[in-house]
Structure 1
Amino acid sequence: MNKVILLMTASVSTRGMRGGCFSNEERESMYVATLAYYIEHILKKDQYRQIVFAENSGWNIENLKAKLPIFDKNKIEFVSLNPDEFDISKGKGFNEMLMINKALEISEFLKKSSYFFKVTGRYPIYNLNYFLKKADKILGYQGFDMYCDIKDHRLYDWFMPGWSGHSFECRLFGVKKTFYQIEIAPLYSSCNDYNGSFIEDVMFAFVKACKGNIKLRFKREAYLGGVEGSDNTALSFSKNQDSWKGNMKRMIGNFIRIFLPFFYF
C-alpha cells in the first residue's frame, strides 16, 4: 500500500543561529516527546505508515533514540545530515528546505515513496492522522501535486498594517515527490530570514503563481501542541499552542473553514 511518508524535520541544536530558541537539551526533549506521541498515536494505529526523522545539527541521534519508547525499527528511519552543509547565517527557512532536499537524496523510505507529508519535528500535531489520511486520498487517489494551507486575506492590510494576511503554512504540507524535486527544491536558495525572505512568503508566492494541481486549503485547523519558538505580535498568537487562547483560535478557525470556506483567514 503506497501511503504518504511522514517527514519530520529537526535541528536539535540551533548551533548559535540568531533567533533560535531553547537550550539543546530542551529541544531534544521536545523532539523525543513528539516522536513518542507519533509512535503511540500514528505508527501503532496504522501498520503501513512510516516516519523519516531528518536531523541536521550533528546531534547524537543514538542518544535521542535511546529515550524513545519501544518502536518498530522498520517504521522509523533516522537520517543524520552533515551540519557543515547548512548555512545558519541564512536562518531557519533556507536550512529547513535544504534539509528536505537532502533527506530526499538519502532516505531509503523516501526513495521508495511517491509522496511525503512534511511536519515540524519539535512539537506534536495532535490531529495529524486526519491530515495524513487526507493526503493519502488527495495526493494518491485524486492526483493532486500538493496538499497545503495558505492564509490569503486583506483584513490585516486594511486594519493592522505590518501584519501579514498572505502566507504559506510551512509547518505541515503534503506533496508529490517528483513535483517537489522539480518545482520546489530549488526555492531554498531564495530563503533568507535575515533579509526578509521568509519561507512562508517564498512558498506563498510559489503556490499562488504555480500552474500545478495544488489543493490550497485544509478543511480543518491543525491542533498543535508544545511551545511556539517565535514571539509574534498577532492578536491570535499564543506562545503555548495548547492554551485556552490557542484552543479558541482553533475553534474559530474551524468554524470559518466549515462555514466560510472561501475566506482564507
Structure 2
Amino acid sequence: MAEDRVVARLRSAGCVFAEDEAALLIKETAGPDDLERAIRRRVAGEPLEQILGWAGFCGLRLAVAPGVFVPRTRTGLLVAEAVRRCSPGDIVVDLCSGIGAVAAAVCARVGGLQAYATELDPIAADCARRNLGDRAGVLEGDLFCPLPDDLRGRVRVITANAPYVPTAEIAFMPTEARDHEDPVTLDGGPDGLDVHRRIIAEAPSWLASGGALLIETGREQVETDLVLLAAAGLAPSVITDDDIDGTVVFGRNAKNVVADRGSVPTEA
C-alpha cells in the first residue's frame, strides 16, 4: 500500500502525526495484510505504541503490550530529577512502574544502582522485566508492599508516576488512553490524589536521611501535593518543565541530615 494512502487514512481518523505514524507502520509490519490490520487498529483509536509493541522513551525502545500504560514525554522530567539526585551504589525505588520506563531510563543514565520497580499489573510487570533485565528487580504488588523490609530507611530516591487524573475527567481523555489503557493506571479518585496520599504517607519510613520522593502530578494538584508532603515531614518543592508539560513534586527527607552528613541541609 502506498504511503500516501496510509497517511490519508490516518489523517482522516484524526492522527496528528499521520506522516510519521505511517512511516513507522510500514517499516514495522510484515507485509500488506499485517499493515492493513495495524492501520485498522490505529484508525479505531488504539495507541500506536501498543500496535508496534514498543514505545520510545528518553532515548530507549521499550516493550509495550496491549492495555498497558504508554509512557508520556512529560515523564522525562521525573527521570531527569531522579538522575540528579542519585549516584552509583544508591538504592532507588520506582513505584507504579508500569512497563518500567522510569526505572529503565534512570538506570541507563546512572550505573551501579540498586534499583527496584513495583507494579500491580502482571502484564505491565512482565514488560518491565523485559525492559529492565538485570538492572533492577521487578516486584509485583501494591506500592511499597512487595519491597524487602530491610530497605526501610535506606532508599535514596523514590519515584512515582502514579494515577493522578480525577475520576470525572477520565471521560474527556483521548481515546488512546480512555479506551485502551487500564483505568487503574489513570484514575486517581475524586481529586486525582488518592494514590499520592498513600505514597506520601508511607514514603518517609523508606527514605534515607536526605533522600527524596519524586511524584509526577498535574499543575492543578500541586498545592495539595505540597501540603501532603509537608504534613508527612518532607521538605516540599515543585519542579516544572513547560517544554514537555512536565510537573514533579519533590519531598526531601531532611531528618537527621545534619547529624549524618555534618552539614546544614540544603535543597537540591
Do the two structures share a fold, i.e. TM-score over 0.5?
no
User: Could you state the TM-score of these two structures normalised by the residue count of structure 2?
Assistant: 0.29
Larger radius of gyration: 2
User: Could you state the TM-score of these two structures normalised by the residue count of structure 1?
Assistant: 0.29
